[in-house]
Structure 1
């Protein structure tokens, strides 16, 4: 189905780090390293007009020091003043020690190499252009999605702004950075900005294969088009006439052929036709041949193409000749809808519990990530015929957590469009508490990584994302900055480490707590645990239309007891908050397995349900 291309859609901007690219070659230098340096900006001397000048002077002073072991001078790479305060620089061990004594120094961390983790999503998520979250959010108008990945292929149909009525949001302050094979005109009302950051890699003598935001890997293009790509037509005019259908001139096809799928007739050698069609970069082509060998030549074609026998081609040609406005879709048998059971937790899913913060149940949620069709770079292979014929394409099927993440990001962007006053925690809560733990057979989702047993929340979180239900969750578990500070204070971080994250010395650690106001619950046991009790305190906010009552419905994990107090929450108005406690009494499982249950707040005389998983797990 072709959707209305005049609808507004979320905007995209790119922050490209070459650390995500696979094609890097290291040459050197163990002596110098790149460091991310966190600073207390309140220490900036008044005679420096900006923090950038202050940081530059610090690095310059290091260069003036006596460091005989250094083979080159230290270098300021980037300065930061939004998410963090500080700068990045290449430093020797001696320079780092000197820097640590500078006024305002908080902490420094060595830069690390990171790698990217690697079709019917809209229908599968029940997103509809007429009802539900999509139109309620005005299709993401005025919402910006930022992507940090391997780059973007700006020529993709998914990033065109054709028909978009919305303009670039006034709040946008970014740029479209020019570079190798990338100029500012490649950004538009859909792809509103792009930047690349590779100074740290260059400083470490990595070979950069593309010095710009341009994607040569495909990963960034795929994820961005999934999260916020424009509509792409799946139906084109079918063209068959004497002028073009010989397909014997790439110049003629390129200069004069109308947009559509060309039928290449049998008046010219098929292999030559393939060459001309490829050079002309058509939208698609239909070739006619009885030879199976032609299939191996299709590896050269960068547009969708099919081969028909003369017998099968005849009715297609007759249709093109006799119809006033013939059209065609080339559909490949890659997707079979209605498969049951679905969804399944994939083997590659990122599973809990969290090693860094085990008291918070992870993962949060499950989203489509297997064989996702999205934009790609035509310089990379998207398929193969036999063992040595590689097929390029502007679109590709990919699987991985990287494919699931942009689905969740896209839904979050739509929710932000509907509820611009919601915090990130409220949006996360809405997505989690409305997620579906059941598959399309109305049984619990199964785990493909665990012999198709029923999936634990440690595999699927709260369940499969349900965008339309997340639009109206009833209650949300919100969190303030102080809630996160309380969590940090409970995790044995040093004062400098907490300051590195909060960027303020005014943080308050008087009430440390690992019990974050989160829409899920997890407790642990070991072999010595005979009986244990853990209490959680939660605050929920009524985001419904007005007064409402909710009643708790609990399914305790096997071998455990769950007590909720109070078991009824009464809200007199919208945005009112109520507190409750949940206490779990549990022991160890002799087989060392986790057990799980749930608490569901059910709206009285209403349709809303607010669900949170409960897990009892052995220690990590």
Structure 2
């Protein structure tokens, strides 16, 4: 009995050993290595909900055991995985595959560049031969900025005659700068330092039609994505494109207005992708007070003649509001109480009649003020009443 058990265990061991040997032999015959797969993200079939599903499906067509090691979605789109040579060849034939590149490991040459180049005993690359102005520096790394001190050409001669390229920021030009990467106002500083006379800040897909009011260091205009694309088409097609930046004054009644900022209240939620959209959104920046139907009024008034005022020139500010009836049909009359006799307040219409629940009526408030010293503040309030109910709106004035 013991001999029978021993022979059974011996046969089981041989089977396991043989199986493992066969697997090891196959892996030796077809070794795997890491590949970087570059995908055409715009060529994803409509049958897939997202790119990860598409990547995984493409990979499973050539290997049942391969798994994605890493996915790429910023500079390039695709993934990395371990494949045999045969599987990599099959993957290159799949639709949407731009390239299948074997991973290459680069070894660091040195951590002491000056010594490696033999420059540890000299203070300048070309010594005193006067050839510094003939050196052409090619910037090929997008992480390097021409404005760095390392590229400062102060004291050097003109651009070498052998140079066949073209500067990005030419003196005396209006320069188109894509939004993003560094602060918007900083872009205008770079253009100004390069000798530019103006800047067009162009929105790309990430910012869409969102515009921000900024203080630039030279004449500039910010454009939404649609207008930016049209300007770029004109510049690239016209033999001698021209541009003019002029202030057209404050524009009122621009639609749509206000808008929600590109970075705010958008879905799906990054932390919880199942939340596709927010239940409530509102503009948080880039809106005018008169755009919002607030019950209160904040009225900034310009001081007409210096910080002390004294000018007889008047300033007029208008606000439009909407009143909603939340009760029975009623007629409301308006009254105004103010601490400042220098501000005239008129309301049109002075009577609002409601016939139904949730009915809306609009009214306009006009503030006409004499000039006052800068820093002066005052208060008032506006009240709608039907004899029983009151709707009161506080008013704050400030002379700037």
TM range (shorter): 0.3 to 0.5
* Structure whose alpha-carbon radius of gyration is higher: 2
RCO (CA 8 Å, sep 6+): is it higher in 1 or 2? 1
**TM-score normalized by structure 1?**
0.22
**TM-score normalized by structure 2?**
0.32
